[in-house]
Amino acid sequence: MSLPDRKKYAGDTRRLLLAFDIGTTFSGISYSILDPGIIPEIRPVTRYPCQEHVGGDSKIPTVIYYDSAGKICAIGAETLKEGIEQDAEENGWTKAWWFKLHLRPKPQTTSASVRQVDEALPPLPPSKTVVQLFRDYMKYLLECAKKYISDSHGQTVWTSLQNNIIFVLTHPNGWGGPQQGQMRQAAIQASLVPNTEDGRSRINFVTEGEASLHFCLSNGLALANTQQSGVLIVDAGGGTVDLTAYCSLPDYSFEEIAIPQCHFQGAAFVTMRAKKFFEKLLSGTRFSDDVETLTMRFDRNTKHVFRKDDEPHHIQFGNHRDRDPSLNIRGGRLTLTGCDVAKFFEPSISCIVEAIKAQKSAAHVPIQSVFLVGGFSASSWLFDKVRERIEPLGLSVSRPDAHVNKAVSNGAVSFYLDSAVTSRVSPRTYGISVYYPYDSSDPDHRKRGHLVEIHCATREPVLHEGFSTILPKDTRVRTSQEFRCSFSRQAVERRSLNCLRATILAYSGLQKSPVWIDSDPLNYPTACTVEVDTTSLPVQMTTSATGARYFEISFEIILLFGLTELQAQIAYRQNGQEKRGRAQVIYEGN
């Protein structure tokens, strides 16, 4: 199925919607001018300053060159200029690339795939943070959008809309509040929006998987119109491969049917494996200094044209006098066997195949079709091998016949306009740390008897490090669905209850109904902290069983997990009626 006809823009003023897809290796911009009473159209930016090929490529390198003082020397499309590598070497510039992956969530444990990313990831330039790099690149993308829209629609259009732009920023599946917080921080520093409540609210986020679904739907790809079959969107990009499974609902909306996945096996890792091959092959030879040139030419050419593993591929890197038959170098050209090139692709292909199988197994609606989008899916070798291994499982494998490189940025605009996804799957079990009044008849309490403490206000014995679930893992959550968590706080002094913080934990272990944090202590990372102003809440003076008098407030924190960004409110009872107030969601480092 495709999306129903897009509705006319219902706003009362003209606005500009900009989507930035900052990818690991390439980035893109799409936009829509929102006119009241007019059906919005989605357009990609197809011209960038210094871009040689105009009108065809909607993406530019996510690369920045800095000088020793930290000043930008070349960025984005400017880094495609012939001889830029020589300029950088002669002038001592530092190249920032793949910097997006420095923002990735840090896992609790180290696996082989995590080590692979750590080993491959280039360091950040001296004295630069990942937020500063995002800031510089966002500022550049805004300038590119300004020039393109001004040239295409007139300078007055940009001037009239520039102070109230709605932004949509994309990020990989599995990235959440901490990453969104840092991206919003970068957007503010780049002057995309002011650092006000209204300004911050103009920054929206969508996962690359969900943006890809919207791209497929808005381009009329044949997704089954039934609740009995699911579709899997595989966004194979430069750094990550994002998988998200959906089924359609009777109202033409979509819901997730499995926990989305994100794997670091994008096209950049094919290049990384090729570079390791060149380093090993040429180590100790007079050609060892040519590894970077070989890697660059493999990345720009060989990787994209590879189709058969029984044909050799040649990479020109030197002059016609350069020769060493033992290294397969003749006339300044290195010859690779097709089998060697296939080995560079194989870990990524295997990862995608296994991830598709995992999604098929986990989905609560049978998956029947797989759509590959993203720049990496344009590789004929990748697509053919994935289809060869997946179609015997009874799944059809397809990809858009064109424009896969603008899938995420166009889909991000569609996400804002069309909002096709109305239900998502919780990837973890969310809850809070609580204390339990000590119960000597409970075996779990008795074995923790040595941990009993006296509550500072009630003076009663309690056990800390309990866990109270708010949202279980793998739960389908509607966008408007609320999850409530009841709180009571006690203190000897009233002022101690004026502002409270509640830490939301995201349990990632194997226990289905976790109760005690100490039973699996490494798997309770902090998801966020919710800060609430409780000065307006009614207060009770209470006496405990021990005779201690203390102040107590009771309230609920309301969490909305079904959106692409976590939101929170506070609720409490006053004169028999429910009152609500704002709560602020805070992430570590933001």
**What confidence score (pLDDT) does residue 535 get?**
84
Helix (H, G, I), strand (E, B), or coil: what is residue 285? coil
Mean pLDDT within 128-141: 97
Q: Return the closest-CA partner of residue 22 out of 113, 166, 118, 130.
A: 130
Work out the pLDDT band at 582, boundaries 50, 70, 90.
Answer: confident
List Cβ neighbours of 472 (8 Å cut-off, separation of 6 or more).
Answer: 426, 429, 512, 513
442 within domain boundaries: yes
Domain that holds residue 288: 222-399
pLDDT at residue number 405: 61
**243 close to 260: Cβ distance less than 8 angstroms:** yes
Separation CA 213–CA 229 (nearest Å): 15
Please say if the pLDDT value at position 111 is more than 80: no
E strands, 145-270, in order: 166-171, 203-207, 230-236, 241-248, 254-256, 261-263
What are the pLDDT digits (tens) for 284-294?
999 999 999 99
- CA 181 to chain centroid, in Å, comes to 12
Whether 4 is in a domain gets the answer no
Let me know: does 231 contact 246? Beta carbons within 8 Å. Answer: yes
d(CA 435, CA 440): 15
Q: Strands 499-507 and 429-437, how do they pair?
A: antiparallel
411, part of any domain: no
The region of weakest confidence among 190-204, 216-230, 416-430 is: 216-230
Separation in Å, CA 132 to CA 103, 195, 448: 11, 16, 47
Q: Which of 472, 471, 473, 495 is nearest to 483 (CA)?
A: 471
Last residue within a domain, chosen from 208, 241, 260: 208
- Tell me the one-letter amino acid at 111: S
> Does a structural domain hold residue 41?
yes
Q: Does residue 148 form part of some domain?
A: yes
pLDDT at position 589 is 59
* Environment class of 319 (CB within 10 Å of its CB; exposed 0-12, middle 13-18, buried 19+): exposed
Q: Backbone phi, then psi, for 559, in 5-degree steps?
A: -115, 140
Question: Do both 40 and 102 map to the same domain?
Answer: yes
- Name the more confident of 130 and 495: 130
Higher pLDDT, 168 or 496: 168
Kindly state whether residue 234 falls inside one of the protein's structural domains: yes
Query: What is the residue whose two structure tokens read 């994008």?
Result: 266
The token duo for 277 is 């091959």
Domain boundary among 181, 208, 235: 208
- Mention every residue, 6+ apart, whose C-beta is less than 8 A from residue 250: 227
Is residue 383 located within the same domain as residue 461?
A: no
Q: Position 188: which residue type?
A: I
Query: Are residues 196 and 231 both part of a single domain?
Result: no
Tell me how far apart the alpha carbons of residues 173 and 235 are, in angstroms, rounded to a whole number: 10
The three-state (H, E, C) secondary structure of 455-508, written as one string: CCCCCCEEEEEEEEEEECCCCEEECCCCEEEEEEEEECCHHHHCEEEEEEEEEC
451-486 in b/e form (b: 16+ CB < 10 A) is: eeeebebbeebbbebbbebbbebeeebebebebebe
> What confidence tier does 327 reach under pLDDT thresholds 50, 70, 90?
very high
Structure tokens at 98: 């793949």
Q: Could you report the per-residue pLDDT of 462-494, keeping only the tens digit for each?
A: 999 999 999 999 999 998 899 988 888 888 888
**Is pLDDT at 590 greater than 70 in this prediction?**
no
The pLDDT of 302-328, averaged and rounded, is: 92
Cα 417 to Cα 39: distance, rounded to the nearest angstrom? 10
Look-up: residue for tokens 């880094």?
79
Q: pLDDT digit string (tens) for 177-189? A: 889 999 999 999 9
Q: Is the pLDDT of residue 53 over 80?
A: no
pTM for the whole thing? 0.87
Which strand (E) or helix (H) includes residue 413? helix 407-418
Rounded Cα distance between 160 and 248, Å, is 39
> Is residue 404 situated within a structural domain?
no
Give the whole-angstrom CA distance, residue 418 versus residue 35. Answer: 16
Distances 182 to 185, 300, 590 between C-alpha atoms, Å: 5, 31, 7
Tens of pLDDT along 424-477? 999 999 999 988 999 999 999 999 999 999 988 888 999 999 999 999 999 999
Residue that terminates a domain, selected from 155, 185, 208: 208
Q: Are residues 194 and 233 in the same domain?
A: no
579 and 437 co-located in one domain: yes
**Does 373 lie in the same domain as 349?**
yes
Residues 194 and 232 placed together within one structural domain of the fold: no
Does residue 416 lie in a domain region? no
Question: 163-177, 214-228, 287-301: lowest mean pLDDT where?
Answer: 214-228
User: CB of 435 within 8 A of CB of 452?
Assistant: no
Is residue 204 located within the same domain as residue 320? no
Q: How many domains does the chain have?
A: 3
> How would residue 386 be classed by pLDDT, with cut points 50, 70 and 90?
very high
Q: How far apart are CA 544 and CA 63, in angstroms?
A: 63
CATH code (residue 203): 3.30.420.40
pLDDT of 556-572, one tens digit each?
888 888 888 888 888 88
Task: For 505-553, give the DSSP string.
Answer: EEE-SS-SS--BGGGSGGG--EEEEEEEE-TTS--EEEE-TTS-EEEEE
Q: Mark whether 370 and 247 lie in a shared domain.
A: yes
In this predicted structure, what is the pLDDT of residue 1? 54
Task: Tell me: do 239 and 387 sit in the same domain.
Answer: yes
Judgement on whether residues 229 and 375 belong to the same structural domain of the protein: yes
pLDDT band at 400 (very low <50, low <70, confident <90, very high): confident
Looking at the fold, whether 200 and 251 belong to one and the same domain comes out as no
CB 60 within 8 A of CB 22: no
What pLDDT does 407 receive?
A: 79
- pLDDT, residue 113, reads 67
163-169 average pLDDT score: 96
